[in-house]
Structure 1
């Protein structure tokens, strides 16, 4: 098990020693570890290795400053200048929040970015400012259009965060595929099969083999509905912003000649423009409690709201630590050795290898 704060510090130091400005290194490390805390391992420190390789290969520019291309009324267009997606996303969020406070609502479109982690990373920060946030991003091709076989769309994620009072906030963070492709990557690393219905192989056949799925396509959530939502996100994040779209969003694991050209889309809404914030939070609490008080199906102990399980997972992992797959732990160890750092210092106890994981 790894102490989350020490693991985050390790990742920050690794990025910094690789030449990433310290402030940017801190943002990227925080976004990765927060994903692991929430139980979204597919977007956690498992991404450290590929991020480092792209920096070392010159495919990302950690020194570039995201630049405002245009700004009018409530709408801003930001060019990420090929910096880390989490750095670009944080800059976009800061603009969206400031302009929402000033104008009541704001839209920030982003081009020239990279994989930006989980949408929840940004939504939680907006919730702290009593803002409602919708954030979406496109991604490289991993999902076919309904009726197709070849990947064309990404598993383009959608996240919505809404503040509440005493209850946990509403926090929906979802891929538009049946499952995030990162979970298939994790299954492949562990040598584990994947459930039926997650993916097809390169010939369009259903598969339980994680590696065959990575060579094929993940499937849209809800069939044509997930396909349509993913396409909509690609239009807003890619076509509208000037970023890549469809086949023009480059795969960070496979394309070592070009930047990713990922696009994002942020919409922030100031709750106080509709009613006093405390009144809204009381109404949200009442709404959530009404849902939780609904009759439960047989065998169901509790009705949960989106984001509640992840919040509980965060509290648990902050107390008990984060367990990493052996392959990820070994990758971090190798990266640490390269930069004169010891990841085992972040482990509880002696950091010994047990049961296929570093415990």
Structure 2
């Protein structure tokens, strides 16, 4: 399998986005940075394999290649960003930097984004913020794929949620999860491979649990914790979109079905300059204590020892930094074609 180092991979993806017309300063490079970090963390469903779909949306008009962020400051610790339907992964990284700058000055900051598009995984944003010493909470709304409590039709997105805490030696805590049992991309991947899925992941169009990935794609995702998870998804959606002035709930189109439609997603980033509350060494020691507590808990047979959220992604990232990124040949061919 071909191997690229991080610099090569980022340059290749950035060229693909530039070829697709992304022209705002740094936006193609920032989108590449986020997606390559995602790939290096082993989150391949949201990594470099998404480039082709994003290029298609740029061509169709669902993402605006000429977008430039419009940033206002309603209060010293608040930033409101109109993303103009720009490349989501690049917009998110630029918004994160804007939030970190405000939080460094004020101690903490909130960033709200409207007219946003899909930005992929949250984990790379958590990592970049943690490397700079920030604790973070990040969420976004999405197209509906979950029924609200008591309903039998999609009305809620899966509202991905990220929480990060920084560690001085890079052993950050990073939680990146959706309110569905799994991300919808896992179903899409299983369908492409012709694989069955657990019947706890999704239902068919009639609301019956199914192991058929194709039937699940036509049905509903199941929320974590049943009604509680669905209610949390609704609350995160309305919190981000309501304050940002974005589309919410069933107002959001499914851009897989209508790639020319701009989804006007709402996104929220809360950042805390952790050193204002706890010295870096003290917070790192507490995270080490928490990791040790987890590791001391007896593991289930055949399972690794319990670990803090993000440990597996960080291990994959450090390995990829040292050894390079394995790129499936078909994906490399596609990226080289898109990069011209």
| TM-score, scaled relative to structure 1 | 0.87
How far apart are the structure 2 equivalents of 1:304 and 1:283?
A: 14
Partner of 1:304: 307
1:60-114: per-residue Cα shift (whole Å, max 9, x none)? 1122211124421322211111111122212221121111111111111110110
**Paired residues of 2:159 and 2:179 also in contact (CA < 8 A):** yes
1:111-148: per-residue Cα shift (whole Å, max 9, x none)? 01100111111111110111101101111111111332
2:248 is the counterpart of 1:245: yes
Partner of 1:90: 93
Output the aligned Cα RMSD. Answer: 2.1
Where in structure 2 are the equivalents of 1:58-207 lying within 5 Å? Answer: 58-166=61-169, 168-207=171-210
Partner of 2:211: 208
- Give ranges in structure 1 of 5+ residues lacking alignment: 341-359
- Give ranges in structure 2 of 5+ residues lacking alignment: none
**Paired residues of 2:31 and 2:93 also in contact (CA < 8 A):** no
How far apart are the structure 2 equivalents of 1:335 and 1:296?
A: 41
Partner of 2:239: 236
2:293 is the counterpart of 1:293: no
How far apart are the structure 2 equivalents of 1:212 and 1:167?
A: 41
CA distance change for structure 1 residues 297 and 184 in 2, over 3 Å: closer, same or farther? closer
SS in 2 for 1:240: helix
How far apart are the structure 1 equivalents of 2:231 and 2:83?
A: 27
How far apart are the structure 2 equivalents of 1:198 and 1:130?
A: 35
**Paired residues of 1:138 and 1:154 also in contact (CA < 8 A):** yes
Partner of 1:337: 337
**Paired residues of 2:136 and 2:164 also in contact (CA < 8 A):** yes
Partner of 2:56: 53
How far apart are the structure 2 equivalents of 1:253 and 1:127?
A: 32
How far apart are the structure 2 equivalents of 1:102 and 1:306?
A: 29
**Paired residues of 1:146 and 1:220 also in contact (CA < 8 A):** no
Identify which range, 20-29 or 305-314, moves more after superposition: 20-29
**Of 318, 321, 326, the match for 1:322:** 326
Aligned residues: 336
How far apart are the structure 2 equivalents of 1:17 and 1:281?
A: 42
| TM-score, scaled relative to structure 2 | 0.91
Partner of 1:282: 285
Task: Compute the displacement of 1:28 (Å).
Answer: 1.5
CA distance change for structure 1 residues 287 and 335 in 2, over 3 Å: closer, same or farther? closer
Partner of 1:20: 22
**Paired residues of 1:99 and 1:105 also in contact (CA < 8 A):** yes
2:274 is the counterpart of 1:265: no
Task: Compute the displacement of 1:226 (Å).
Answer: 1.2
CA distance change for structure 1 residues 300 and 46 in 2, over 3 Å: closer, same or farther? closer
SS in 2 for 1:251: coil
2:221 is the counterpart of 1:218: yes
**Paired residues of 1:101 and 1:270 also in contact (CA < 8 A):** yes
